[in-house]
Amino acid sequence: MRYEIRHKPSFATLFMQLQPGERLTAEAGSMASMDGAMQMITAFSGGFFPALLKTFLGGESLFVNTFYNQSDRPLDLVLTQSTVGDIIRLELKAGESICLQPGAYIAHMGGVSMQVQWAGFKSWLSGEGLFKLKLQGPGLLFFGAYGGITERRVQGDLIVDTGHLVAYSPQLKMNIQLAGGLMGSITSGEGLVNRMTGQGKIYLQSRSIGGLVNFLRPRVP
């Protein structure tokens, strides 16, 4: 499989080429264009009930598409995301996993498995949801975000705005707290923030859809 992420960072798009016999799984709706000979099979993500779980609790699409090159030559495939921003390619080793925000997942290849896991009440209070979408390697994973993506190592703790969190290592713990004092939190507009503790990686997006929604809301006629 050959790939190139073009039009970074605002309109990052995956230009891929699958070799004969190769297959790739991607979120429904992510296909922009592809060679006519490419086979695309739509299925419930992981089976009917796991798919329902992923849709209602994990915030992902009910369906996934598997692209399969059953021809004898390399076939082109262009995958994209609904949002405007960057795409990251992550190579997961066996046993290594990452949790993704709803909507961030784009595609995966190899033995990557997708599960919905209980995230805990603290995660729910932080606005991250009761459940998290966990992807475990080995394999290749592509995910995207709204805006540019920054990778940070958490060693000890880090305070993040939940609207800007894209992905994080599952072992990190979340704790919500006020941004400042009570008055400070309200007046600064930051409100509640997420204190992440432990050792791991997080990915942040430079813009938040919530921020855009708040900007647009008073302007909707």
Partner 1 sequence: MKYDILKQPDSAVAHIMMDPNEEMNAEAGAMVAMSGHIQASTTLRQGKGGGIMGGLKRMLAGESLFLSVFRSGHAEADLYLAPKLMGDILPYMLTPTGLVVQSTGYLASTPGVDIELGFQGLRSFFSGESIFWLNISGEGLVLLSSFGGIYEVDVDGEYVVDTGHVVAFEKNLTFTIGKAGTSWLASFLGGEGLVLRFQGKGKLYCQTHNPGSFGRLVGSRLPPRN
- Where does this chain touch partner 1 (CB under 8 A) — which range of 17-25, 79-87, 135-143, 199-207? 79-87
Among 21, 32, 118, 155, binds partner 1 (CB under 8 A): 32
> Residue 36 corresponds to which tokens in the numbers above?
């006519």
> CA end-to-end span of the chain, whole Å?
47
CA 99, 142, 101: angle at the middle one, nearest 5? Answer: 30
Among 35, 96, 161, 190, binds partner 1 (CB under 8 A): 35
Please tell me the count of residues contacting partner 1 according to CB under 8 A. 38
What CA–CA distance (Å, rounded) separates 161 from 159? 7
Binding mask 99-128 for partner 1 (x = CB under 8 A): ----x-------------------------
Among 2, 7, 89, 153, binds partner 1 (CB under 8 A): 7
> Of 143, 139, 11, 22, whose CA–CA distance to 76 is shortest?
22
Among 16, 24, 38, 90, binds partner 1 (CB under 8 A): 38
> Residue 68 corresponds to which tokens in the numbers above?
């399969």
Sign of CA dihedral 159, 162, 168, 172: positive
Among 37, 111, 171, 187, binds partner 1 (CB under 8 A): 37
- Amino acid code (one letter) for 190: E
Q: Where in 180-219 is the site for partner 1 (CB under 8 A)?
A: 209-210, 212-213, 216-217
> Residue 33 corresponds to which tokens in the numbers above?
């264009």
- Where does this chain touch partner 1 (CB under 8 A) — which range of 81-89, 92-100, 104-112, 127-135? 81-89
DSSP 67-129: EE--SSS-EEEEE--SSSB-EEEEEEPBT-EEEE-TTTEEEEESS-EEEEEE--HHHHHTTS-
Please, which residue, 198 or 210, has the CB nearer to partner 1? 210
Q: Name the residues that contact partner 1, by CB under 8 A.
A: 6-7, 10-11, 13, 15, 28-29, 31-38, 40-42, 61-63, 65, 78, 80-84, 103, 209-210, 212-213, 216-217, 220-221
